[in-house]
Structure 1
Amino acid sequence: MAGDSGRALGNAEQWLDLVAASALSGPSRQLAANVAFVGYAHGVLRLALAPGFEYLRSERAVGDLEQALSASLGQTPKIVIETGAADAETLHERADRQRGERQSAAETIFMDNPEVQLLVQQHGARVVPDSIRPFEE
């Protein structure tokens, strides 16, 4: 199992997938969603927390996160959280980015619809800003 742990958490994308699939809740979920992956080696999980989010880092939240990750990693990691920006995206940032991408795609699809174009060009119709939403919202 120890050999699998490196493959189970070798990069930021795997970290995001692990957190997204976890059963974390409450403060440990908030902490996990707002930290960025820095590295995982020799049982030590290094994460970065942006300045201004230090309030999320409590002993209990870190301990709960360590316990929640132990099953997936095959061992209980030692979590070290640094304050500062990381090159990797947090789960919260990824969710915001994906939401923006879905919104942009929905607006493009709507505005490219021939019937919408006809209404705008021939009848002077206007689209109310922020009125277009992706199907899943």
Structure 2
Amino acid sequence: VANWVELDKTGWSVELDPSARGNGNTLIDGKGGSNGNDVYKTGDFWFVVDMKSEKTMTGLGIDYYKNSGSASSPKKVTISTSIDNETWVTQGTVDTPQAYNHYFQFFTPQNIRYVKVELAERYNGYIDVTEVYVYNAQ
């Protein structure tokens, strides 16, 4: 989206579903793209981005790994947000095409600290994520 600006991820952390493989913080290391550092699983998994303080966000982007010549993206993505990591507001669940990245725009800006992303169903052997991006409109 033309007026989106990526938020600086310095100091952020990622909690990763214990059943997934990899280090959750690779999702915010700036080394995304279809061949970046990754976290993956042969089934559904989730991760939570902690931005360490409340921020306004209008959208989210996710990059996926290139595996056997195709994107290792999920068929469904659910995004939830929270101020306190206890009370969650589901922003929606979207059916997604197989692609190297997905972008999600919220209907209204959200003032939040935590973003939970749940990835479900798979097109090929793995759901394999390399980077997550958080955006605000300028």
Do they fold alike, i.e. is TM over 0.5?
no
More strand by share: 2
Q: TM-score, normalised by structure 1?
A: 0.26
Q: TM-score, normalised by structure 2?
A: 0.26
Q: Which has the higher contact order (CA 8 A, sep 6+)?
A: 2
More helix by share: 1
